[in-house]
Structure 1
Amino acid sequence: MTTHTVELELLPDPDEPGRPPAVLRGTFLYCTRRPFEVTLVLLEGCHPKPRWTFARDLLLDGVRQPAGEGEVRVRLTRRSGRTARVELILVSGGWCSVFSLGLIDLVQFLIPTMDLVPPGEEMRVLDLDDGLARLLNR
């Protein structure tokens, strides 16, 4: 398992110009038992702590080009005077939250995940027999 805690900016609603982003901490989690997934857990503000689980490939693709459809989208942004950032757009029901984090922070999380399980090798480490046994024993 690998984890990486980052600083996230929760961007304000576009209908509220001039409002600064809220700064939160979040932790990305990656476990080789679920090699296709990453989880983001917000560490502040709510109990229980909000969690989103989505495809690692979405982040890997999103650091190069816009990626994702539906509930989770990722895009690289470059604004004047700032280092490159990545926006995670999370949609659920009737709401949409946009989180921004430094590209370097995200890459510092992704590199160890690729060391553990290189992209394209996920099926090699996935234990389908264990997953099937857990499913049938429920």
Structure 2
Amino acid sequence: MIELKDYSEEMLEDVRYIFNNLRLDDQRMFADSPDVEENIRLHIEKSCEMKIVYINDKPVCLFGVTERYPVLKWRYMAFHFGTDEVDRHKKSFVKIGREVIEGWLNKYGNLYMAAYSYYKKSFVMAKAFGFKFKFNVHEIYIFTKEKPQA
């Protein structure tokens, strides 16, 4: 069973577990900064909201939205990264993730998502979540989900 829980300090060990068991392409995203504790601190500090995805009570993915993306300075960048287990439950994750993203869209306005050119699964997930390709900056592709005008 898939479940999303809002991050709290009591879940820090679950976050460590996810960072220490990332999918290969997720590991590549952090290759320039391999310090797990620093990456955890950065995500906790920069996130407006961060959720942990659990499958059968096992932490498998971090899913959140940042106030400021550390590289491009975009506001409200949605992110997700996790273990191989999340890929085995992709359909369920996309279904529940779409609901969360709609809530963030209503709360924060336009959202962005970044994907490295080598990470084809991120392209697929961005589209599954309803994001549209906007542009690329070298090997980073930027997707956007715009809040409908009232």
Band the TM-score falls in, shorter-chain normalisation: under 0.3
TM-score (normalizing by structure 2): 0.24
TM-score (normalizing by structure 1): 0.25
Structure with more of its chain in helix, by fraction = 2
For the pair shown, the structure with the greater C-alpha radius of gyration is 1
